[in-house]
Amino acid sequence: MWADFDPQVLAEALLALSHSKPTPAEPLCPNIRSLDWGHLVGENHQISPYIRLFLGPHTKHLALTVYDADFTWLSIIHSLPRDYPGITDITFDWTINQCSDVISDTVCQWNRLESFTWHGDLSYRAFVHLAGLPTLRKIDMSIPNLSGDRQRHLATLQRPAFRALRSALVSCQNFFSCTSLIEITPSYLELDSITVRIEDDHDHDHEAFIVEYFLQMLNARCSHTALTVLELDDSRRWPTHFSDEHVISDDMFRPLLAFTNMAELTIYTPHAFRLSNRILGDIAASWIQLRWLKLGTLCGWAGQSQITLAGLIPLLALPKLEGLNIVINASSVDYTLDMPPIGLSNTKITQLSLADSVIQSAHSVAAFLSDVLPNVRQIHSWNDAVARNASVSPADAKKYRVRWLEVAMLIETIAKVRKQERSGAREHIDASGTT
């Protein structure tokens, strides 16, 4: 890797290569299509002027690193769109705030972008420019705060915006900003994946209706067959005073059921989930392609779960399900001898995250789970943060955690015994049939 060489020696070598070209304007490697300049040179801005040796008319993908506010390097970056307008995929990495204005101005000069990656402080002008590009299919970026004067922002942005968008990873200060982004997109946007990360540390806007409005807007603007991956990651602290305003219910969740090809859903927000067996049944009926379901297990559900063991059965019957993080109420066993149906066994799931799931009888729960989830070996539950949000005593939290650990150990043993019993029963039936 070039970053391991002495910068002065490398600069002299590149200078010699530059002089060896037939004409000054001709690139040394005219056929390079993808260039990760930061990976090659690291922090050696001394050789940054030689980037033009490797850029040419066929270069489409470019990754740049800005470790400091070096004037020469920033000037070169600012001139790249003029000299290489055909670049379609640009990534800025390891930038600092002093470079934000230059990078934002540079972005405004590229008109053929299909992919843009940067998590610096993007200017509103650059955001508007990106929103208007007819070719932009993928974004991985921080967006400006669009919640202060939403109507002004909506009037400023040319609509429909982001009309070619297929994949979006956006970091923003609040859900209002991300909702505004979705609101300006065209109807039936063919978006196949969206990840939202909330980065504001202030304790405000925790009300669940804000998430509900975002989900409703997704339902209204996005194609119901295209969206397959949704992740909402809000790492802010749990609200100081928990109330019904901080609860996500079945009805709030229901707009997502319209996305019939949903494969991966992750919602980690500082809210409780008051979900029931009914919504799990609806999920199983609507999302036959589901691989991952992760709901609120980082903070727990504040004791609000209405999902029982029997409620898991429709979900575990999904043929592709391989990951499950959820909260259940296993304080009583509500399954009967005909539950689960014969043959229902999910062998893909090997660990569960159950947060503040209440449990009374470890043996009864293990007997059930060993039948439907025979390969589960780890169950994570009741860490300190989850226990605080559940408002239970430290003794109860420890008791529940120990019981789930016991369940994980029992599942393997019971599953092996059950397998041997069934194998023996089949052998007996086969032997009886041949006599």
Q: How far apart are CA 26 and CA 83, in angstroms?
A: 12
Looking at the chain, the whole-number percentage of residues with pLDDT higher than 90 is 54
Question: What is the average pLDDT score of the chain?
Answer: 85
Residue 435 has pLDDT above 50, yes or no: no
Residue 269 has pLDDT above 50, yes or no: yes
The yes-or-no verdict on residue 299 having pLDDT over 50 is yes
Class of 1-141 in CATH: alpha beta
Mean pLDDT in residue range 148-165: 73
Q: What is the reported pLDDT for 400?
A: 97
Contacts of 162 (CB under 8 A, 6+ apart): 130, 131, 136, 139, 168, 181, 184, 185, 189
Average pLDDT over residues 230-249: 79
N- to C-terminal Cα distance for the chain?
A: 73
Percent of the chain with pLDDT over 70: 79
Question: Residue 329: its pLDDT value, please?
Answer: 95
How high is the pLDDT of residue 11?
A: 63
pLDDT tens, 48-72? 778 888 888 899 999 988 777 678 8
The tokens describing 61, both together, are 């993908």
pLDDT: which is higher, 427 or 48: 48
Predicted confidence at residue 99, as pLDDT, reads 85
Q: Tell me, rounded to whole angstroms, the distance of Cα 122 from its chain centroid.
A: 21
Q: Is the pLDDT of residue 414 over 50?
A: yes
The pLDDT tens digits for 174-211 are 888 888 889 889 989 999 999 999 876 555 556 788 88
Which of left, alpha, beta for 188 (phi over 0: left; psi -120 to 50: alpha)? Answer: left
- Token look-up 């509103």 returns 124
Tell me the average pLDDT across 81-100.
87
pLDDT at 1: 45
* For the chain, domain boundaries: 1-141
Question: What's the 3-state SS for 123-152?
Answer: CHHHHHHHHHCCCCCEEEEECCCCCCCHHH
pLDDT of residue 67: 72
pLDDT digits (tens, 9 = 90+) for 357-400: 999 999 999 999 998 999 999 999 999 989 988 888 999 999 99
CB 29 within 8 A of CB 53: yes
Structure-model confidence comparison of residues 99 and 150, the more confident one: 99
